[in-house]
Amino acid sequence: MKKTKVINSDISRVIAQMGHFDKLSIGDAGMPVPMSVEKIDLAVTHGLPSFMDVLNNVLEELEVQRVYLAEEIKTANPTVLEQIQARLPETEIVFYPHEEMKQDLTNCHAFIRTGEVTPYANIVLESNVVF
């Protein structure tokens, strides 16, 4: 059995297959996911698991150099934005319109769906190298 904190087999597999500049997305329960993108559905009920719980878990294994957030998070969900900034204080954040984020999902290895039901709780993580 794995000793690290990411024990979901699908999430672990996707992270293990990622290279430099590859993307992985985590988002709320309502984010539309393109049919061409693998969806790892963790949602159990409203709020379970939370966006931040899943993000914190993924960040235990994935080295991230840049994150992408919807511009709308600044006004519609400043609490989650502050939590992301606190968790990734040295990581570059790129803001773009939510519509562009939805289109950018086609460039992601997978989308991890959480039970989060707050607006714009979505992120695209761009991987870095560990050397």
- What is the per-residue pLDDT for 86? 98
- What is the per-residue pLDDT for 2? 72
Query: CA nearest 111: which of 45, 19, 40?
Result: 40
Would you say residue 56 has pLDDT above 90?
A: yes
Is the pTM of the predicted complex or chain greater than 0.75?
A: yes
The residues annotated as belonging to the active site are: 20
Question: For residue 3, what pLDDT band results from cuts at 50, 70 and 90?
Answer: confident
CATH superfamily of 22-127: RbsD-like domain (3.40.1650.10)
Domain boundaries, the chain: 22-127
98 annotated to bind ligand:
yes
53 annotated to bind ligand:
no
- What is the per-residue pLDDT for 61? 96
Place of tokens 């990734």: 88
Give phi and psi for 92, each to the nearest 5. Answer: -65, 135
**DSSP code of residue 77:** -
Diameter of the chain measured on Cα atoms: 42
116: burial class by Cβ within 10 Å (0-12, 13-18, 19+)? buried
111: burial class by Cβ within 10 Å (0-12, 13-18, 19+)? buried
122 annotated to bind ligand:
yes
Question: For residue 29, what pLDDT band results from cuts at 50, 70 and 90?
Answer: very high
Q: Could you give the CA distance from residue 78 to residue 10 in angstroms, rounded to a whole number? A: 30
